[in-house]
Amino acid sequence: MTANCLHDRLDALARDGTLESADRWRSRAEALDWLDSLSPVLSWDGAGGVADRAQALRARLERADATLGRRLRAAIRAGHGPALFRRWQQESPGPIEGEHYDALDELLAGVLRLTDPGAASRPLEPEMVFYQPTPARHALDMLARSRLGPRDVLVDLGSGLGHVPMLASICTGARAVGVEWQPSHVQVARRAARALGLHDVEFRAQDARDADLSGGTVFFLYTPFVGSVLRTVLDALRDEGTQRPIKVCTFGPCTRLVADETWLCTDEPVRADRVAVFQAAGPRKD
């Protein structure tokens, strides 16, 4: 970018008096990304005045985001989560495919305020997959397409820092359970849920192979494990799914394997870069 372009864009952003408003969070995220991309230019000794302007703009945008985060947390504590869910879905800017993160993840980071769990307290065993959060737009897509509602119980198998169960509870009023191998992750998730006043979310520090699945109606797996661990958990889910109707939602590489389970079916095309929603038929009729 030339010096002129840089000045022009800084001028335009500085003049934009609506940039602080609540509904401009995507534009702020875009502007903050742009400021991040300028770091190498701004750390140059001669950048002086431009660096100061960029710094002031960043502080202004971050203040607006912090204010919005506080307002959304208060709205969630007051039980207005489902209305926020509808708004986030309507404001969704287009295709959701892909594993990248976007402005919605940044917005929700300011809402859920998940802290760093520090070094892993319990080493993962072979076939267990390390923590990586589901991009928020996919989590919301899963909640909508599984039609999760207040009578449901969502179980996230390998729940990491817990944002999927928390979003399920906030957005739909469903009960939600997170089962996670790492006790340190579970501690972070419990603290965050408590701070948001989410009483219907529970986090269990447990191996998913030992989890009691009997209360769940919708199960979510963002490829938390592979191989024999996945096989054991799918067998346990099949035992549930042949007794009663359940849904199994998946994201990432495990989708391909879950799609081969003959006790599950789906009406939609199955793709690895979007959540798949499978149904189990329930008790056999013969």
Residues that bind ligand SAM (CB under 6 A): 128-129, 131-134, 156, 158-160, 163-164, 179-182, 185, 207-209, 222-225, 229
Per DSSP, 124 falls in state P
Per DSSP, 236 falls in state H
Q: Alpha-carbon distance 216 to 13, whole Å?
A: 48
Residue nearest to ligand SAM (CB): 158
CB of 229 to ligand SAM, least distance (A): 5
Q: Alpha-carbon distance 202 to 161, whole Å?
A: 12
CB of 155 to ligand SAM, least distance (A): 11
Per DSSP, 33 falls in state H
Taking the least distance from each CB to ligand SAM, the nearer of 10 and 160 is 160
Residue 98, Cβ neighbours under 10 Å: how many? Answer: 12
CB of 63 to ligand SAM, least distance (A): 28
Taking the least distance from each CB to ligand SAM, the nearer of 35 and 278 is 278
CB of 232 to ligand SAM, least distance (A): 9
- The answer for residues whose C-beta is within 8 angstroms of residue 6's C-beta and 6 or more apart is 38, 41, 50
CB of 236 to ligand SAM, least distance (A): 12
Taking the least distance from each CB to ligand SAM, the nearer of 143 and 208 is 208
CB of 255 to ligand SAM, least distance (A): 13
Closest CA to 155 of 130, 180, 133: 180
| Bridge-based pairing state of the strands 218-222 and 201-205 | unpaired
Residues 145 and 242 sit within 8 Å (Cβ to Cβ): no
Taking the least distance from each CB to ligand SAM, the nearer of 146 and 223 is 223
CB of 29 to ligand SAM, least distance (A): 20
Residue 48 in tokens: 């002086």
Taking the least distance from each CB to ligand SAM, the nearer of 137 and 163 is 163
Taking the least distance from each CB to ligand SAM, the nearer of 181 and 278 is 181
Alpha helices in the chain (DSSP H): 3-15, 25-37, 39-42, 48-77, 81-90, 103-112, 136-145, 163-172, 183-195, 227-241, 254-258
Per DSSP, 180 falls in state E
Taking the least distance from each CB to ligand SAM, the nearer of 164 and 198 is 164
